[in-house]
Structure formats: structure tokens, C-alpha cells
Amino acid sequence: MSIRITGTGLFHPTEAISNQELVASLNAYVERYNQQHAEQIAQGELEELHGSSEAFIEKASGIKSRYVVEKSGILDINRMYPRLTERSNDQLSLQAEWGVTAAQQAMQQAGVTTEDIDVVILACSNMQRAYPAVSIEIQSALGIQGYAYDMNVACSSATFGLKQAHDAIQAGARRVLMVNVEITSAHLNFKSRDCHFIFGDVATAAIIEDSADKAGFELVDVHLQTQFSNNIRNNFGFLNRCEDAFGDSLLFNQDGRKVFKEVCPLVAQMINQQLEKNQLNADQIKRFWLHQANANMNELILKYVAGKQAEVARAPIILDEFANTSSAGVMIAMHKTAHEVEVGEYAILSSFGAGYSVGTVLLKKVA
């Protein structure tokens, strides 16, 4: 068997928010909050909020802009989350709509039709609803037979999804469509200086199939690992209703310093173990497509793996334009720079996130 990624697709919304716009919105909110609560702040009952700056965001993350599903609601300091219009149950959901668009691109690149696909996997951090599975909605919209399911391993969902696709093909499926639709702006606390800049909205897709003669990237080896941690957490869920609880504290939050300190060596160790297992060294890896969460993290991981003199270009960064797109980030990096890898050369696709969860996939460019 030669199980390969033979096509990828990418969709992003038309609206984008620059760091300048985001900072102006947050700082206006902070100024108003501090004025409205000046007495409580002076008495020590509330903490004073602090504004942000473009320089802080870029230095902390490497992010310059992000695509969003709807920007006016996010920038409105009386709201600070997207404005969306509810769709009826007879209409295609927003997540399915984006997934279909990305999937059609991947199918076209791979030269396959809906009749050629047996499995659809929606692998991402956030599902628009609990059920019916959005993957089944995508499957239906495309007219694919077989089966579909949703899966969530946070930002590692794409690498874990590739493993599930690989195993499904080994078990007899002809082709798998994996889709990663991340509408992350809906779960982000735009009132928080520490995280308001992190995420962007996007959809990616990939076709995985067994082919001995179709160009693509062969899945040589896949290594997955999970390790429980509360350092990245989102507590929003249906039980909040029963607890009479809802507020910004239930949304995405993280201890960024602990994540940086703990995740970087863990990811590097897994990549090095994978290289050793496959009798390769870092110099033989043309591109490291790492999770697009933080440029500083990726630079450090690359140094741990390839040495201090490693060229930064070997780990392409796309989060300057897209920000952190959770599971989709590694797929965007691959989609944008796959042409830089020649036939016979290797690449590593590695994602990591809440859980902790880490997935590393060793790929080889094949003709």
C-alpha cells in the first residue's frame, strides 16, 4: 500500500481584522471599563484592565492579521463577538458550507469525484452543534456514499484525522475526505488582552487514498500522543445551562507560558523519535509543517530538532496572515508550500494543542 494525500483545499472568509483594528477595539473597551468601575478598582474590589498594542501582539505571536466570519460584531465594544444570522434546519449550516467549499477544491486537485469517496471525517476543535454530525451534512451536500463522523482532538485534530483516514484505507476504504473547519472567533474572548488576538477562521480539506501512481505525499509514519493538562481549556458546553452558568470564563483560556515551556520539548522529542524510528536525520526533512499557534514556539521546536543554525524557512509560517486556525493551520502551511518539496524529499507535519495532544506525520513527496 502507498497511502497518500493527493489533494488539498483551502477556504477563508473575505473579512479580515488587522492587529491595528483589534487593538483599537480592545483599548476602547478597556478605557470604558476602567472608567465605569473606577471606584471598585480604587478600593481593590476589581482589577484594572490593561490595553494591548500591535507591537506586543506581533512579538508575542508573529500574528499580523486574521480572517473572521464577521468583523463588525467583534470590533463593536458593546458586543465583541461575531454577528451571525440563524439558519433554518433546512439550510446548509455555516460549518458545512465552508467544509463543502474546501472539499471541492481538494477533490479537484486530487482528480476524484464524490463516487470515489467512502469516508468523510470532520476533524476540528469546535463543532457547530452536537448532532446530527456536521460531517454527515457535508457528506450529504456533496452526495457521497459510505459513512461520516465528527472528531475533536483540539488543535491536533488534523494529524489525528490523517491517522484515522490511514487506518480506514487499510481496513478497505478507497478514499477518505478529511475536512477541518475552524470558526474559532465564536469561542474567543475578545475582551482579554492575553488571547483576543490569537485565532482566525478558515476551512481546509484533504483527500487521502491508496495509489501507487498518483502524485502526492505518502504517509510514511504517524505518531500520536496525548497527555492531560488544564493549561489550555474551554469549558463551554450543554451542562452550563444546568449549572446556570455562562460567561467569558467558560470560553477559551490558556496559561501561555506553561504551554510554551511544556509543549515545545514534547513536540521536538516526538519528532526526533519519529526520525530515529525511520532512520532519518533532520537534515533530510525539507519542510516542517508545524502547528500555526505561535511563531516563537515553531522557531524553538525547529532548533530543538534541526539545530540552532536551522533556516527558519524550513518551518513555514502562515499565521501572520491567518493567525492560529487550530487544526487547520498545519494543512494551510502544507497547502501553501507543498510545491517547495521535490519528489523523493521528506516533510513532517506536526500539530499540537489542548489535551495536551500531539500528532506527527512523516510524509514523502511521490510522483
pLDDT band at 250 (very low <50, low <70, confident <90, very high): confident
d(CA 149, CA 137): 10
State the residue for C-alpha cell 459510505: 146
d(CA 333, CA 123): 17
Alpha helix stretches (DSSP H) within 193-288:
239-242, 256-277
The residues, ordered by sequence, that sit 6+ positions from 167 with a Cβ below 8 Å of its Cβ are none
State the residue for C-alpha cell 470532520: 122
CB 301, CB 268: distance < 8 Å: yes
pLDDT band at 252 (very low <50, low <70, confident <90, very high): confident
| pLDDT above 90 for 249 | no
Instruction: Give the pLDDT score at 11.
Output: 98
Instruction: Give the pLDDT score at 182.
Output: 98
Instruction: Give the pLDDT score at 254.
Output: 84
Retrieve residue 346's grid coordinates. Answer: 521528506
Catalytic residue (choose from 155, 195, 242, 264): 155
What pTM value is reported for the model? 0.95
Q: Is 103 helix (H, G, I), strand (E, B) or coil?
A: helix
Q: What is the pLDDT of residues 70-122, one digit of tens each?
A: 999 999 999 999 999 999 999 999 999 999 999 999 999 999 999 999 999 99
- Phi/psi of residue 5, each to 5°? -85, 115
Q: Is 71 helix (H, G, I), strand (E, B) or coil?
A: coil
Instruction: Give the pLDDT score at 260.
Output: 86
The residues, ordered by sequence, that sit 6+ positions from 214 with a Cβ below 8 Å of its Cβ are 4, 6, 110, 111
Q: Among residues 328, 330, 291, 296, which one has the least CA distance to residue 312? A: 296
Classify the phi-psi angles of 71: left when phi > 0, otherwise alpha if psi is within -120 to 50, otherwise beta: alpha
- Looking at the chain, the number of H-run helices and the number of E-run strands are 12, 13
Q: What is the pLDDT of residues 316-364, one digit of tens each?
A: 999 999 999 999 999 999 999 999 999 999 999 999 999 899 999 999 9
Q: What is the pLDDT of residues 115-141, one digit of tens each?
A: 999 999 999 999 999 999 999 999 999
Q: What is the DSSP letter of 113?
A: -
CB 320, CB 66: distance < 8 Å: no
Q: Among residues 117, 238, 131, which one has the least CA distance to residue 179? A: 117
Q: Per residue in 215-238, is it b (16+ CB within 10 Å) or e — as a string? A: ebbbbbbbbbbeeebebbebebee
Instruction: Give the pLDDT score at 251.
Output: 80
143-168 mean pLDDT: 98
Retrieve residue 36's grid coordinates. Answer: 465605569
> DSSP strand E in the chain: where?
3-11, 16-18, 65-67, 119-123, 147-151, 175-183, 201-210, 216-226, 232-233, 253-254, 285-290, 346-353, 357-366
124 is catalytic: no
d(CA 216, CA 208): 9
Q: What is the pLDDT of residues 287-310, one digit of tens each?
A: 999 999 999 999 999 999 999 888
End-to-end CA separation in angstroms for the chain: 15
Using CB atoms within 10 A of its CB, is residue 128 exposed (0-12), middle (13-18) or buried (19+)? Answer: middle
Instruction: Give the pLDDT score at 103.
Output: 98
Q: What is the pLDDT of residues 21-75, one digit of tens each?
A: 999 999 999 999 999 999 999 999 999 999 999 999 999 999 999 999 999 999 9
Cis amide linkage into residue 356, ω under 30° from 0:
yes
Rg (CA), the chain: 21
Q: Pairing between strand 119-123 and 175-183?
A: parallel
Instruction: Give the pLDDT score at 313.
Output: 92
> DSSP strand E in 152-276: where?
175-183, 201-210, 216-226, 232-233, 253-254
| pLDDT above 80 for 247 | no
Retrieve residue 332's grid coordinates. Answer: 494551510
Instruction: Give the pLDDT score at 165.
Output: 98
